[in-house]
Structure 1
């Protein structure tokens, strides 16, 4: 993801990354490092995802990032007690020296991503240092904030991208140089990704990295709710304090471009037949008796010409496109740039959800946001709901809107690969 250069960040207030003493699993105390990792908390959506991860190892990180109990307060208390117990038992231990961490992800298809994990100063939005591109849901921010308060920890890094000035920038050179050394840890997760981690503790190297990154701004690729949580918690604690910083992974996408995927919607209480009936005369609907892969190809073709969606949940696929222009004029806010008004996510939320189907976008009882396409369809077919599949938005559109200070509808994009949770944590009292 291309982000703006230093001239567009507030002078002298660019990225401020600092080392920390990472909490890491003791490999002798767990079944395997792969077995204790998890996708980010909001990606644990496979039909048996939570149970699968809890069963993988009694120390799986999901017990901290998604604790299970009857009430929110009980869940947070459980997570805090679990973290304290694991620390006391030596399951998790803090590294001896503070450092930045080089993190690498590689899959069998040639995908390679490297970046730096560190504690980043939480900046005010008007500083233009960290650019969001999506709205957030207040109840999710409140939930994450309560969990972080209870545990006094950043349990998983969010993903930020920046664009290095050139290939000789010190931070990029340090990442490449460090990756030639034996890693602190190496593990391959069940999705086929190999994860490796190194610590950078030399004070001169850390200082040079900090100086290099101070001229940059970054785009939030994944973790808008966690960044909003960092901002809330920083505001709650008098500065200076450990809450002035939050755990992030910074990736230079001039060297390592990210993949961009869509985030789909599952409408729990809307049957496909009812969804289609409400679209009569408003959108063109074509019924596709084809496998998922071919249906997604048809969606991609239709998306080249305008707004398009794929509905599923009744054993077939339904391509929805060519919205009535008068309908869009009545329902899509006109006070935003054209690039925002024509987004599929904008039309989905402003036109379909709000006006056609009458579904509140911020109600977990009515709508779920799911990254995995197959899981979305399977859940809809199993539960009798409607899956709404989207085509990914182009990354240059995301970048341009973020630079204008215009946020996209919530859960519009999925950038990846995402960092695995559980490889390194940040305790605020260590």
Structure 2
């Protein structure tokens, strides 16, 4: 079902770039303003100039972050800072990274994948997207005609040729091998053998791909293809705009890690803040963990350990500004079905992020759809410690600490053609940007 093919990737030229660690970054959507400045200063050819360029007060239609990105791309190509592979390849990658003092390894295949509308059931989303973000990404792809960051997608089942390559790869010198800014080892091997390529491509013919990360970029690619088809008289089924670069990973890969996406709220009025526990008690059973007078760290540890116990049960941790206590709330039996049974499937009602979005944010706090779309109102963190510190310091008003969404839940919801609330998952680590790129011209 999925059309997965090799391509002539664009890579940094190792003769001109000493270390990929100097020029690669995480995807644009997890880079904060301080990191954006850091990456700009780290190296003059850092890919930040392509994916998240600086804005100026003089920006206009002719000169802005998107047109400057196109200028950098063309300059780097002409100076051979970036070079295109002469032979089509699949790009097998491995990342070694720690989580809770244990080292994991995740493999993935970077390839081109034929774009398909979601309704065909070949490539499936699982999260909602923001319109503003898609419009910004569309401006960038229209200016540069390139994919800089691969979509992170998943498949289920075995692919013998790919599994064999993953077994052999660690014994073979990689085409690129470096330690990134987070201390993760990043390796890439080019698969140029046409027989192996055909075997891998054929194996994907009966696979469904599930988007793990990059929903905005995928939907933008669909919009870009439509724009190209209307404005390019030479557009055809073989035009590069019909494909998108993807990092494809097995759902069974032992290095596939999902972290929670905790919610941090700003601008909560005093009435909602002071009355939250009482109002929430109408819908939730609430356990209060009293703050220890002399040992806040032990209290925080107890809070998180209590939340993580029996993860299959719906439990959400709550912290409130100017309130030293911690709360663990669990929906009362049948409350979700009573309120939302006519509009939500059981697979969605069973998600902690749905309970948070519909029952807490909407029902208890009264946040409407506009508020849910407001990235200034709701922020995210995958770190328990960071989320808690943000409340203790008073930077945010409320924190909702979640358990991670399970991969089985992602597959079930996507397979039913349903959509989870935004930021329901945080696949970790993000796929690095700048290891390989794809031209659409």
Smaller-chain TM-score bracket: 0.7 to 0.9
* 8 A Cα contact 2:265 2:396, kept in partner: no
Residue aligning to 1:318: 326
Residue aligning to 1:4: none
Residue aligning to 2:223: 232
Q: Quick one: distance in 2 between partners of 1:72 and 1:176?
A: 51
Residue aligning to 1:34: 21
Aligned mate of 2:10, from 20, 23, 28: 23
Q: Quick one: distance in 1 between partners of 2:13 and 2:263?
A: 38
Cα deviation, residue 222, structure 1: 1.5
Cα deviation, residue 126, structure 1: 2.7
**How has the CA–CA distance of structure 1 residues 351 and 102 changed in structure 2, closer, same or farther, with 3 Å as cutoff?**
same
Residue aligning to 1:389: 401
**How has the CA–CA distance of structure 1 residues 358 and 86 changed in structure 2, closer, same or farther, with 3 Å as cutoff?**
farther
Q: Quick one: distance in 2 between partners of 1:293 and 1:222?
A: 30
* 8 A Cα contact 2:280 2:364, kept in partner: no
Q: Please list every run of 5 or more consecutive structure 1 residues that lacks an aligned counterpart in the other structure.
A: 1-13
| CA-to-aligned-CA distance 1:99-150 (integer Å, 9 cap, x gap) | 1101111135331111210111011223211121112222222222221111
Secondary structure of the 2:75 match is: helix
Q: Quick one: distance in 2 between partners of 1:31 and 1:267?
A: 42
Aligned mate of 1:52, from 29, 38, 42: 38
Q: Quick one: distance in 1 between partners of 2:144 and 2:301?
A: 42
Residue aligning to 1:176: 167
Matches within 5 A, 1:72-87: 74-87=64-77
Q: Quick one: distance in 1 between partners of 2:337 and 2:412?
A: 23
Q: Please list every run of 5 or more consecutive structure 2 residues that lacks an aligned counterpart in the other structure.
A: 230-235
Aligned mate of 2:183, from 180, 192, 197: 192
Q: Quick one: distance in 1 between partners of 2:311 and 2:44?
A: 44
**How has the CA–CA distance of structure 1 residues 313 and 202 changed in structure 2, closer, same or farther, with 3 Å as cutoff?**
farther
Q: Quick one: distance in 2 between partners of 1:307 and 1:31?
A: 48
Moved more, 112-121 or 233-242: 233-242
Moved more, 313-322 or 215-224: 313-322
* 8 A Cα contact 1:64 1:82, kept in partner: yes
Secondary structure of the 1:281 match is: helix
Aligned mate of 2:90, from 96, 100, 122: 100
| CA-to-aligned-CA distance 1:259-311 (integer Å, 9 cap, x gap) | 11111222221278843523413233625534344432222237554342332
Q: Quick one: distance in 2 between partners of 1:362 and 1:72?
A: 26
**How has the CA–CA distance of structure 1 residues 288 and 15 changed in structure 2, closer, same or farther, with 3 Å as cutoff?**
farther
Residue aligning to 1:370: 381
Q: How many residues align?
A: 413
Residue aligning to 1:286: 288
| CA-to-aligned-CA distance 1:336-369 (integer Å, 9 cap, x gap) | 2223113221122112222322331111222223
User: Within the alignment, does 1:414 sit opposite 2:426 as a pair?
Assistant: yes
* 8 A Cα contact 1:286 1:318, kept in partner: yes
Normalising by structure 1, report the TM-score.
0.87
Cα deviation, residue 237, structure 1: 2.7
* 8 A Cα contact 1:331 1:350, kept in partner: no
Aligned mate of 2:81, from 75, 78, 91: 91
* 8 A Cα contact 1:349 1:409, kept in partner: yes
* 8 A Cα contact 1:295 1:317, kept in partner: no
Secondary structure of the 2:211 match is: strand
Residue aligning to 1:358: 366
Secondary structure of the 1:110 match is: strand
| CA-to-aligned-CA distance 1:80-107 (integer Å, 9 cap, x gap) | 2222232233322222222110111113
Aligned mate of 1:159, from 152, 174, 182: 152
Q: Quick one: distance in 1 between partners of 2:274 and 2:341?
A: 24
Cα deviation, residue 412, structure 1: 0.4
Matches within 5 A, 1:115-264: 115-165=108-158, 169-238=160-229, 239-240=236-237, 241-264=239-262
Cα deviation, residue 333, structure 1: 5.7
Secondary structure of the 1:117 match is: strand
